[in-house]
Structure 1
Amino acid sequence: MRRFTEGFYGYAVALFVCLAAAGLFLLITPQSSGEHIPKRDYSITVANFGRTVPYQVWAPVKDPVGWVPNSNRIAKGENGAQVLHLGYATAKREHAMIIQSDEKPPAGFANRMANSDKAVGTQQVNGQPWERRWREDKNQRTLVRTLPDVTVVVTGTADWPELAEIAATLQQRPKPTA
């Protein structure tokens, strides 16, 4: 028996046993073949943002079918203004983000979020005009709506119809109490 476990043959047998065990483990372990995009609930972030800003927040009433909210955060903008970011993976697996702030001047905020200061037209969403911006080298499309108290930007690598789809879900949320 000792001769069988020593030398080259012993090494080969040990290697074979290890590879067989690894193969068996891989065979019986469940494998995930689908994509996994982490889903992040943004309701608390929107409520917290609404408590800190002097205007009503614009947020989706309902996420479009097949869209996955995958990021949200509150950041500081220019002059101490609060900025809300809600990120999505679209149904076509592109990126879209809703960004809003009362930062002044509104054009400066919109320019930074769109990575462009050039309008390429307008688009009607729910009967309201949104300014279109396009940054070809970044494959970034942007819809901008400047309101008296807030600027809302919908931007990303999603196409124009997808950006309009998420923009159409936006409604003002009532101010949270206490």
Structure 2
Amino acid sequence: MQRFTQGFYGYVVAVAVCFGLVGIFLLIAPQSREEHIPRVDYSMDIANLGRAAPYTVWAPSAPTANWVPTSSRMTTEKGTHTWRLGFATAKRAHAMLVQSDEKPADKFASRLANSEAVVGKRDIAGATWEERFRKDKDQRSLVRFLPDATLIVTGTADWDELSTLAASLKQQPKPTT
């Protein structure tokens, strides 16, 4: 018995027992082959922002096919109301809608887009959006300045996916209290 607990044979037995236990664990442990992306319901944030913000709230009119809303965060600081809504796109890139009444609007847009440089303009659903791009972060941004707020659609998603999100935005009615 001592020969199996010492030296080379002991090492081989210990490794074999470990591999056997790992194999048994892998056979009986449940495994999922499906991708799991956490999904959030952002309807309450739309309602809360509509009550709190002095500007018109814009939100996606309907869920875009195969897009998953992954985060929603509304903040109010120093009289400024900001809402961030994140998505995993159909191509599993990241896209985010940000809207705020932060002033100055151009500084806010530059901070969120990580770029001050406008690389083009894009007409989306009858509205003109600025295109901004930051190569080192692979971040594309669409910026639209409204009289009372700024809308930014940004992320690692391609221009077509960002444009799809921007085109889906609709003004939300003010909630009744």
TM-score (norm 2): 0.87
Structure 2 CA distance for partners of 1:149 and 1:23, relative to 1, 3 Å: same
Query: Once the 2 structures are TM-superposed, how far is the Cα of residue 47 of structure 1 from its aligned partner?
Result: 1.3
Distance, in Å, in 2 between the alignment partners of 1:59 and 1:143 is 15
Residue 174 of structure 1 is matched in structure 2 by 173
1:90 and 2:85 aligned:
no
Q: How does 1:129-168 map to 2 (within 5 A)?
A: 129-168=128-167
Give the letter aligned to residue 158 of structure 2.
D
Distance, in Å, in 2 between the alignment partners of 1:43 and 1:106 is 26
Distance, in Å, in 1 between the alignment partners of 2:19 and 2:120 is 62
1:81 and 2:86 aligned:
no
Matched residue of 2:85: which SS? Answer: strand
Structure 2 CA distance for partners of 1:25 and 1:147, relative to 1, 3 Å: same
Residue 51 of structure 1 is matched in structure 2 by 51
Residue 27 of structure 2 is matched in structure 1 by 27
Query: Once the 2 structures are TM-superposed, how far is the Cα of residue 87 of structure 1 from its aligned partner?
Result: 0.5
Residue 105 of structure 2 is matched in structure 1 by 106
* Percent identity for Structure 1 against Structure 2: 53
Query: Once the 2 structures are TM-superposed, how far is the Cα of residue 89 of structure 1 from its aligned partner?
Result: 0.8
Q: Where does structure 2 lack aligned partners over 5 or more consecutive residues?
A: none
Distance, in Å, in 2 between the alignment partners of 1:81 and 1:159 is 30
TM-score (norm 1): 0.86
Q: Structure 1 stretch 93-102 or stretch 24-33: which is displaced more?
A: 24-33
Structure 2 CA distance for partners of 1:119 and 1:17, relative to 1, 3 Å: closer
Give the letter aligned to residue 51 of structure 2.
R
Deviating 4+ runs (over 3 angstroms): 6-12, 14-22
Structure 2 CA distance for partners of 1:31 and 1:56, relative to 1, 3 Å: same
Instruction: Indicate the RMSD between aligned Cα atoms, in angstroms.
Output: 2.1
Distance, in Å, in 1 between the alignment partners of 2:66 and 2:80 is 32
Q: Where does structure 1 lack aligned partners over 5 or more consecutive residues?
A: 1-5
Distance, in Å, in 1 between the alignment partners of 2:22 and 2:137 is 44
